[in-house]
């Protein structure tokens, strides 16, 4: 079960919320004493809370917009069967569209895949949110330009925003009417582990 049936009257890590406005600064290059910048402001239809449950409060919250998925995910039968498979570790073959896997050389496989484990994450910066009646379906086109509908969405760990909101004092004193879905305990566990893995990766030069 991806979502809890009942919504607790608190904000939790992994909750889907609406009506928050997100903002980022845009600069061409960091220069001393330069204030040449732009500000990008947008209102995503939905966003996911990424502040850990115990840290929600202090009039701030971390959010990641809930985006549409890539239609090419459906090129891989293992992923198409259940898009939330992306949230869990998988074998190299499961992570690859079968046509590409069939023609891939062993040398390329050795370079691309983590062979040290039976299973590893693919799409290490993404987490899929399952379909739900509260999340309207939208249309995608596959490579053959055939249109199809899906309700799956994803968050990208590279897009995490901090919002200052004076209504968020602690996890209970929050604008609860903006909460529309609550992730199950199992989903929160998977999100927490994948997010931790994303930040825990270390470059090869740090190996001592």
Partner 1 sequence: MNEIENCFEYESPSQDITGSREHNRKKIKVSFGKYEILVLLNSKNEFVRILEISVDKDFRSIEQKLDSVGYHDVADLYE
Given the complex with partner 1, which of 20 and 121 has the nearer CB atom?
A: 121
Q: For partner 1, which is the closer residue by CB, 144 or 201?
A: 201
- Rounded to a whole number of angstroms, the minimum distance from the CB of residue 115 to partner 1 is 8
Pairing between β-strand 16-17 and β-strand 47-49 as defined by DSSP bridges = antiparallel
Nearest residue (CB) to partner 1, 65 versus 92 = 92
CB of 190 to partner 1, least distance (A): 11
Which of 59, 70 has the CB closer to partner 1?
Answer: 70
Q: How far is CA 196 from CA 59, 62, 154, 191, 202, in A?
A: 24, 15, 17, 8, 12
Give me the least distance between CB of 71 and partner 1, in Å please.
9
> What is the spatial distance between Cα 177 and Cα 9, in angstroms, rounded to a whole number?
9
CB of 204 to partner 1, least distance (A): 11
The three-state secondary structure class of 74 is: helix
What are the Cα distances from residue 1, in Å, to 4, 8, 65? 7, 16, 22
HSE toward the beta carbon, residue 59, CA cutoff 13 A: 3
Given the complex with partner 1, which of 2 and 123 has the nearer CB atom? 123
Backbone angles phi, psi at 25, to 5 degrees: -90, 150
Largest CA distance in the chain: 56
DSSP sequence for 129-180:
E---TTS--EEEE-TT--EEEE--EEEETT--EEEE-TT-SBSSSS-GGGEE
| Residue 41 CB, nearest approach to partner 1 (Å) | 28
Output 43 or 70, the one with its CB closest to partner 1: 70
Binding residues for partner 1, rule: CB under 8 A, are 70, 72-73, 75-76, 90, 92, 95-97, 100, 111-114, 116-117, 120-124, 192-193, 196-197, 200-202
User: Residue 21 CB, nearest distance to partner 1 (Å)?
Assistant: 29
């Amino acid at each position: 079960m991806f979502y809890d049936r009942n919504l607790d009257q608190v904000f939790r890590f992994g909750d889907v919320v609406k009506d928050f406005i997100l903002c980022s600064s845009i600069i061409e290059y960091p220069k001393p004493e330069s204030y040449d910048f732009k500000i990008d402001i947008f209102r995503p239809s939905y966003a996911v809370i990424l502040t850990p449950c115990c840290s929600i409060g202090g009039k701030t919250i971390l959010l990641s917009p809930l985006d549409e998925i890539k239609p090419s995910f459906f090129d891989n039968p293992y992923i198409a069967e259940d898009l939330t498979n992306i949230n869990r570790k998988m074998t190299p073959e499961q992570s690859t569209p079968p046509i590409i896997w069939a023609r891939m050389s062993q040398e390329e496989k050795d370079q691309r895949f983590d062979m040290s484990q039976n299973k590893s994450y693919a799409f290490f910066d993404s987490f899929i949110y399952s379909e739900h009646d509260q999340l309207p379906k939208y249309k995608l086109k596959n490579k053959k330009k055939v249109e199809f509908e899906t309700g799956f969405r994803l968050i990208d760990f590279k897009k995490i925003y901090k919002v200052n909101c004076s209504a968020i004092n602690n996890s209970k004193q929050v604008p609860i009417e903006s909460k529309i879905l609550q992730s199950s305990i199992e989903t929160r566990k998977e999100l927490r582990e994948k997010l931790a893995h994303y930040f825990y990766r270390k470059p090869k030069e740090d190996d001592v």
